[in-house]
Each structure stands twice: as C-alpha cells, then as structure tokens.
Structure 1
Amino acid sequence: MTNPGDIERVGTKVVPYYVVGVVEDEPEVSTEQPEPNTVNPESVAPDSYSVRRPRPTWLGFIAATLGLATFVLLIVAMLIATGGDFPAGTILSYVTIVVSISAVITAVICLVLGYQRRWAAFGLAMAILANPLVLVTVFRSFEG
C-alpha cells in the first residue's frame, strides 16, 4: 500500500476517442454524389453577410456635448440667479435639468451599444455632476 503523498507525477495526454457505429450489410447505393447546395452570391442580400458595419461616432460626441452644455447652463443659471433675476435663474435651472436628463439617456445608450464610450462616459459624468438636483442633494447631506 502506498501513501497518498507517494504519487508519481506522470504526464497525461488527452486523446480523442472516436466511436464508429456498426454497419450492417446494406444494398448497394449509387456512388454518384449529389450536387452540393450552393448559393449564388448575387442572389443573397448584402445585409445577410457578416460584414461589420461602422459604428456611428457622432452619438458619443452628442452625449459629451449635452453633458458640457449642462455644466455651462448651470454656471449661467447660477450667475443670473446671484445677479438678482431669480425667475430667469429658476427657468434656466429647469432647462439645465432637462438637458442633463437628455445627456444621461444619450450617454447610457452609447455605453450600452458601444458608441464612442469614452466620450459618452465624459458626458455622463458631466451631466450627473452638473445637475442642480444632484448638487442640492449633495449640499444638503453636508448640512449637519
């Protein structure tokens, strides 16, 4: 009896094992090969080929532009509101929120579908960080 630690290290080789079925005596079959099913390339629609289509690059740039526009609108709304025109500052804040939501939706679509992911991630970050609702929530958490 050997100890479990006394096992020799033997290289193993995996060999495929093919099973061949039993063939009974069957009547003679004609040796003519049927014509293979070939497809005429002109009869196939071009969309059915597995050619990779170019991805649109403009969608990621739109997400980044909307994110940057959110930041600019936030700065303008804050400047107008601190200048004393509160109704115009409030309206610009609402416009900032709408642009921010549009940027988030566009950026998420770009990230999921893989269209210019870096630009989309930049737009998403800008849209979230410059959203007035997010800023108010963050500032309220520091209140104490």
Structure 2
Amino acid sequence: MTNPGDIERVATKVVPYYVVGVVDDEETELPTDGEQEPAPDAEEGPVARRSRPRWLGFIAAALGIATLVLFIIAMIVSAGGDYPNGTALAYAAIVVSISAVITAMLCLIFGLQRRWAAFGLAVAVLANPLIVLYVFRFFGS
C-alpha cells in the first residue's frame, strides 16, 4: 500500500501541440522602426448590416388585437342568439390566434420587435376561444 502522502506522476491533462509553419524572414516584409503599416482600404472598412424588417412585430401585435376583437364580436353575436354566425366568428378567431402565435414566435426567435411580438403573443393566447373554454371548464368544475 502506498503512503497517503505519496503522489504518483500521472498525466492529468493532455494538451494538444500545434505545428506552426516556418516563415522565411526574406519573404515577409515587416515594417522597420520608422515605417508604418499601410492603412486598410476604405472598402475593407465596417460592413453595413442589412436592415431587419421592423413591421413583423407590429403584425403579430395586430393579429393578437384582431383575435381579441373577433372573440368579443363572436361572444356578442352568440349572446344575441345567432349561434351559427357566432361559431363561425369563433373559428375565425382561432385561426387568427394561431397565425398570431406563429408570427410572434418567429419574431421572438429572430429578434424582430420582441416587445410588440410578446404583446401580440399574450393577447392571442388569452383571447383564443379554445383556451378561454378550457379555463372556464377548469374553474367551473
């Protein structure tokens, strides 16, 4: 048995070695003490970023608001006794809600107007007639 104080020499970490090519000093032109390096061309300057579409987050918010409006109109029409038209408006609200959720998720993933997209997502989910129905059933029973 070894003594608890003895430590054997074991490699605990393997470090890769990289081969660096040999460069001849004659082929490279290093600036001397008085010379400066040539300035980079203006074309090699900062690259202009493409502008991102700013309207997509607003579209998600508008679809969320449209879902809320359709849901309210469907509730008013159904309360008035016209059930087939109220059901059709509720189905339209569901379709608009799904499109708002998809648009908002794309905006959140790609970083396009995230605040408006999150607002549209929240409104679309909360005004979806199926989700409202499930919430009412959960608390009603």
Q: Report if TM-score (shorter chain) is over 0.5.
A: yes
Q: Percent identity, aligned pairs only?
A: 60
- Per the TM alignment, residue 143 of structure 1 is displaced from its structure 2 partner at its CA by 1.5
Structure 2 counterpart of 1:26: none
Deviation by residue 1:48-83 (Cα, 9 ceiling, x = unmatched):
x74322211100000000000000000000000101
Q: 1:126 aligns with which of 110, 123, 128?
A: 123
Secondary structure, in 3 states, of the residue corresponding to 2:93? Answer: helix
TM-score after normalising by structure 1: 0.67
Q: Secondary structure at the match of 2:52?
A: coil
Distance between the aligned counterparts of 1:86 and 1:134, measured in 2?
19
Whether 1:70 aligns to 2:59 is no
The CA distance in 1 between the partners of 2:97 and 2:125, in whole Å, is: 7
Residue aligned with 2:140, SS: coil
Structure 2 length-normalised TM: 0.69
Unaligned runs of 5+ in 1: 1-20, 22-28, 35-39
Q: Structure 1 residue 135 and structure 2 residue 132: aligned?
A: yes
Superposed, 1:39-54 pairs within 5 Å as 50-54=47-51
Q: CA RMSD in A?
A: 2.5
After TM superposition, the structure 1 = structure 2 runs for residues 1-144 of structure 1, keeping only pairs within 5 Å, are 31-33=26-28, 50-144=47-141
Number of aligned residue pairs: 108
Q: What stretches of structure 2 of length at least 5 have no aligned partner?
A: 1-19, 30-40
Q: SS of the counterpart of 1:142?
A: helix
AA partner of residue 113 (structure 1) = F
Moved over 3 A (4+): none
More deviation, 120-129/52-61: 52-61
